[in-house]
Amino acid sequence: MASLSRRGLLASVAVIAAAPLLDACGSPKEKKEGTTSQDELSKALPNHVANNAVNPDIPIVSGVNGATTDPAFLSYPANPPKSVTGAVGSGGSYTTMTPLWGAIPPSSGNTYYDTVNKAIGANLKLQPADGNTYGDLLPPLFASDKLPDWINLPVWNITNLAFGDAVAAKFADLTPYLAGDKIKQYPNLAALSPNAWISGVWNGKLYGLPIYSSNAVVAGMYYYRKDLFDKAGASAEVKSVADLEALGKQLTNATAGVWAFDDLFGDDGAYINQLFEFPSGSYPWTTDASGKLVHRYETQNIADALNWHAKMVKAGYMHPDAVANNSENGKQRFWSGKVLICADGTGAWNGDDNKSGSAANPSYNRQGFKLFSANGGAPKIELGNGASMFSYFNKKLSDAQIKELLNIANYLAAPYGSAEWLTVNFGAPGTDFTMKDGNPLLTEQGSKEIATTFQFLSCPASAIVVQSGATQVVKDYVNWQADAVKHVVKPMFYGMNVSEPSRFSSLIKPMKDTITDVKLGRKPISAWTEAVDNWRRTGGDELRKFYDDIRSKYGTGK
């Protein structure tokens, strides 16, 4: 199966939830656009019904705050059970639109597309688009009202769509079909992770089907090249950033074209917040000692993280391309051993990565540092949303069409290990794939025809599986995940689906730009202090009042 990218779909991205938006006069709108109270949420969400049709080779391990490891499989069942009985579709034809990070396969004469469409008894016209520019395509579609019948919308692509207002006008309300026990008509959808549905609820109604949901909900980690660590006699027992800094000094050899680090900060602090314990961009609020709401930008922790990262740049421990803010060849730098430590999403650790890395070095071995904190204390990692992509049905569809698409979605969400999953992900046996060492392997034709397409419309909860024969990678990743879920904490406003008024959206870019300049040593930390002061004056303090209103009416979701 083609590997998933966009930094491994590193994290759940947006907060989406509960309080009245204000009109120009500052009074609540009569309709609470883009808001959902906890009571409304409980009524809209589907009930969870576990699916035990297939048992994983490595059982799920429970952590804290509802986090668990993902199920893991070392080989595909020899006799895959069916999870769907009877007819699926009823011959309908539907347009779709999904992102794709990678080569777009041919649409005509595609055996894979034909195989899946035959299996579902309908014709899904797949229209994958470049995931890197996907967000640019959406505003014109929304404005012209030319949306397809079924569309994937990553949460990071909807911030400029006034989505809280648009969702009810554009998309079908699935609450009457899926809320509570109604989901039982669709057993594979009912088996999705309990918190996966949260960010698909808008205005007290369920609209979105979660894509690539996970109950581990851990965004990413710090990776290292174990093979090169062993060769250099370097220790991976990292307990603090002081230990990391020592590795920077030990492993960097600019003359030989080797640097210890790639960018360790991540987009807007997506990784380094784990170490320095400031809130993520998804859930950006915390409180000070007096109980006052404090935004992540206002914490001393993010300032400390910026200072430390700039210090690593100044010391010369970071690859020059990373210092130039060039992330295009980041994976290649890691594969080739030009950098020995990097930050990336959990999706980066898989068999395809192992195959790519081994092509550059047969002894290639990616490993993840166990979670640690900047000061050497007990590590913490934020619980993310169960899904960061959702698919939506066009509101113009009839009741019969919605039911047909839900049947199809249930088929596409068949669990790993089932007969249906094999069809959806690998197409026609003997043509698109063969079995090797107990696992499906794409043929040359399959490699050209198959990409992540149907899966962006509906798919099961995540499972950790063997890719490209890399069984040990699965075992290593599961072990890392089992440790990580012990340290999960719930952020403020978790699962409350807060859709901020659009007037606050302009606050983000100047802060992200300043983060980039300061973390790379282009500007001093005083530039960050000035940016935070400006953020407060130009809307940050008003945004705080908005969240204070949410807290007073609905609590903080913890």
pLDDT in tens, 6-27: 334 433 332 323 222 222 233 3
pLDDT of 36 higher than 90:
no
pLDDT confidence tier of residue 32, bands split at 50, 70 and 90 = very low
Picking from 461, 489, 517, the residue at the C-terminal end of a domain is 489
Could you tell me if residue 549 is inside a domain? no
Instruction: List the one residue out of 550, 515, 442, 378 whose CA is nearest residue 17.
Output: 550
Mean pLDDT of the chain: 89
- Domain membership of residue 398 (yes or no) is yes
75 contact partners, CB below 8 Å, separation of at least 6: 57, 437, 438, 439, 466
**Domain identity same for 160 and 11:** yes
Q: Are 12 and 220 in contact (CB under 8 A)?
A: no
Domain harbouring 357, CATH code = 3.40.190.10
Encode 295-320 in three state secondary structure: EHHHCHHHHHHHHHHHHHHHHCCECH
Residue 210: partners with Cβ closer than 8 Å, 6 or more residues away: 192, 193, 196, 197, 199, 200, 386, 387, 389, 390
Q: Are residues 320 and 398 in the same domain?
A: no
Q: Is this prediction's pTM over 0.75?
A: yes
pLDDT in tens, 122-167: 999 999 999 999 999 999 999 998 999 999 999 888 877 878 788 9
pLDDT (0 to 100) of residue 231: 97
Residues 329 and 422 occupy one common structural domain: no
**What pLDDT digit, counting tens, does each position of 180-231 carry?**
999 999 999 999 987 889 889 988 899 999 999 887 777 789 999 999 999 9
- The backbone torsions φ and ψ at residue 97, rounded to the nearest 5 degrees and listed phi first, read -150, 130
Q: Are residues 394 and 318 in the same domain?
A: no
The C-alpha atoms of residue 275 and residue 244 are separated, in whole angstroms, by 11
Cα 393 to Cα 51: distance, rounded to the nearest angstrom: 25
Is residue 105 included in any domain, yes or no? yes
Looking at 456, 489, 522, which one is the last position of a domain?
A: 489
Cβ atoms of 153 and 375 within 8 Å: the answer is no
Q: What are the tokens at 462?
A: 């995540």
Q: What is the pLDDT of residues 274-318, one digit of tens each?
A: 999 999 988 899 999 999 999 999 999 999 999 999 999 999 999
Q: Are residues 286 and 239 in the same domain?
A: yes
What pLDDT sits at residue 41? 81
- 65 with 91, same domain: the answer is yes
Q: Beta strand 201-202 with 205-206: parallel, antiparallel or unpaired?
A: antiparallel
Is 518 among the domain residues?
no
Identify any residues that bridge with 381 across adjacent strands, giving them in sequence order.
488
CA distance 63 to 381: 12
pLDDT score for 193: 82
The predicted structure's pLDDT at residue 558: 66
Residue 68 lies in a domain: yes
Same-domain check for residues 341 and 428: no
* pLDDT above 90 (res 387): no
Residues 418 and 54: beta-carbon distance below 8 Å:
yes
Q: 479-510, pLDDT tens digit by residue?
A: 999 999 999 998 998 877 777 887 888 999 99
Whether residues 233 and 365 fall in one domain? yes
pLDDT confidence of residue 7: 35
**Inside any domain, residue 208:** yes
* Residue span of the structural domain in which 449 resides: 6-217+386-489
Domain boundary among 454, 489, 524: 489
Residue 183 and residue 324 share a domain: no
Of 346, 355, 369, nearest in space to 260 by CA: 369
- Residue 417 sits in the same domain as residue 351: no
Instruction: Please write the tens of the pLDDT for every residue from 413-450.
Output: 999 999 999 999 999 999 999 998 888 999 999 999 99
Going by pLDDT thresholds of 50, 70 and 90, the confidence category of residue 35 is: low
Q: Does residue 14 belong to any structural domain of this protein? A: yes
Tell which wins on pLDDT, 511 or 32: 511
pLDDT of residue 405: 98
Q: How large a percentage of the chain has pLDDT more than 90?
A: 71
User: Counting beta carbons within 10 angstroms of the beta carbon of residue 355, is it exposed (0 to 12), middle (13 to 18) or buried (19 or more)?
Assistant: middle
Task: Answer whether residue 473 shows pLDDT above 50.
Answer: yes
pLDDT at 30 over 50: no
Averaged pLDDT, 335-341? 97
Q: Are residues 329 and 392 in the same domain?
A: no
Residue 416: burial class (beta carbons within 10 Å; 0-12, 13-18, 19+):
buried
Tell me whether residue 145 is in a domain.
yes
What pLDDT was estimated at residue 430?
Answer: 96
Residue 344 sits in the same domain as residue 408: no
Long-range contacts of 53-59 (CB under 8 A, 24+ apart): 53/81, 53/83, 53/415, 53/417, 53/418, 54/80, 54/81, 54/415, 54/416, 54/417, 54/418, 56/417, 56/463, 58/464, 58/474, 58/475, 58/478
Taking alpha carbons only, the member of 543, 508, 497, 522 closest to residue 268 is: 508
422: enclosing H helix or E strand: helix 419-426
**Residue holding tokens 């290649």?**
332
